[in-house]
């Protein structure tokens, strides 16, 4: 949706007013939506349209309104009120509940300058003195006091490897590998729509599906995270990852607090 389109702007304003009137949209969520760039909003709205149309196709044929004839204003309203909810229609995860850490790789376990090169695979570039997965042992040490803590991969590597969790987890140290229970990306998702979605919304969607008792996210990507998720984010240094002293201290503190409350 473009801001310079008066008709679309009026439709969005009507959707906001109705959502607020029905109690379906909080003031905090509204502020978050208003602060999002147009390209982010368009990506989220596109996902909601796809989900709504898929739900409509599953309805009995006696339905009076065909999916392609639905009012765009009603679609905008459902997308707007549905932003805090799950946006990717995929099977339920095998492992639910418990304490979970959403783990990114680039900028966390090694510098973020990783590129996929032909016939060489992921390659760390412009980072002299560093290597891939150099902080695995450090993260394993931080996790040691919490044997029940599980890992969900939130890295873009999962999408590049077509959702193969088993294959990817082998790149981690044995201690971390044993904790991996899934990923935010599922092979049933549209990879292009998933890639266009902000990392924070990818993580939030998995939280809604997985329903952990408590969770944290370890990531160097901090842009456009939903306001209701920011307290769970430990932002890492793009080059030093978790080895940066203040990041490591914050991670230890938040882990201890999370595991004490469960």
Which pair of tokens denotes residue 208? 């809604």
Does 93 map to a domain?
Answer: no
How many domains does the chain fold into?
2
Residues of the chain with pLDDT under 50: 1-5, 52, 59-86
Is there a single domain that holds both residue 61 and residue 105? no
User: Residue 11: what pLDDT?
Assistant: 58
A 10 A CB-CB count for 259 gives 15
Q: Are the CB atoms for 110 and 241 separated by under 8 Å? A: yes
Summarised one tens digit per residue, pLDDT across range 183-201 is: 999 888 888 888 889 999 9
d(C-alpha 262, C-alpha 260), whole Å: 6
Is there a single domain that holds both residue 19 and residue 57? yes
User: Residue 149: what pLDDT?
Assistant: 96
Does 1 map to a domain?
Answer: no
Is there a single domain that holds both residue 167 and residue 139? yes
> Last residue of a domain, which of 82, 110, 128?
82
Does 88 map to a domain?
Answer: no
Does 224 map to a domain?
Answer: yes
As to burial, measured by CB atoms within 10 angstroms (0-12 exposed, 13-18 middle, 19+ buried), residue 117 is: exposed
Dihedral class, residue 236 (left if φ above 0, else alpha if ψ from -120 to 50, else beta): beta
Does 227 map to a domain?
Answer: yes
Does 181 map to a domain?
Answer: yes
Is there a single domain that holds both residue 119 and residue 234? yes
User: Residue 234: what pLDDT?
Assistant: 97
d(C-alpha 76, C-alpha 46), whole Å: 10
Is there a single domain that holds both residue 208 and residue 243? yes
Is there a single domain that holds both residue 108 and residue 175? yes
Is there a single domain that holds both residue 158 and residue 240? yes
> Last residue of a domain, which of 56, 82, 108?
82
Is there a single domain that holds both residue 125 and residue 161? yes
Terminus-to-terminus CA distance in the chain, angstroms?
42
User: Residue 87: what pLDDT?
Assistant: 54
State the CATH number of the domain containing residue 123: 3.40.50
d(C-alpha 25, C-alpha 46), whole Å: 19
Does 120 map to a domain?
Answer: yes
Task: Give the chain's radius of gyration (CA, Å).
Answer: 20
The parent domain of residue 117 ranges over: 99-260
């Amino acid at each position: 949706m473009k801001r310079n389109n008066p008709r679309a702007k009026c439709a969005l304003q009507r959707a906001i007013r109705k959502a607020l009137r029905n109690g379906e949209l909080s003031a905090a969520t509204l502020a978050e939506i208003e602060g999002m760039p147009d390209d982010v909003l368009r990506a989220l709205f596109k996902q909601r349209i796809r989900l709504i149309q898929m739900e409509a196709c599953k309805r009995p044929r006696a339905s009076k309104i065909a999916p392609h004839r639905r009012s765009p204003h009603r679609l905008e309203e459902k997308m707007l009120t549905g932003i805090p909810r799950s946006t990717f229609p995929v099977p339920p995860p095998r492992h639910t509940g418990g304490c979970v850490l959403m783990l990114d790789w680039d900028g966390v376990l090694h510098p973020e300058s990783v590129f996929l090169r032909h016939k060489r695979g992921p390659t760390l570039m412009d980072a002299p003195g560093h290597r891939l997965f150099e902080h695995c042992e450090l993260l394993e040490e931080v996790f040691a006091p919490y044997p029940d803590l599980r890992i969900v991969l939130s890295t873009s590597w999962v999408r590049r490897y077509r959702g193969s969790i088993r294959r990817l987890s082998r790149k981690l140290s044995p201690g971390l590998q044993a904790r991996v229970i899934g990923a935010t990306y599922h092979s049933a998702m549209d990879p292009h729509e998933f890639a266009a979605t902000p990392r924070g919304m990818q993580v939030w969607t998995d939280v809604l599906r997985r329903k952990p008792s408590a969770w944290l996210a370890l990531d160097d990507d901090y842009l456009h995270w939903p306001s209701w998720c920011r307290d769970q984010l430990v932002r890492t240094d793009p080059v030093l990852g978790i080895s940066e002293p203040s990041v490591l201290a914050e991670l230890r503190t938040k882990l201890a607090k999370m595991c004490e409350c469960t």
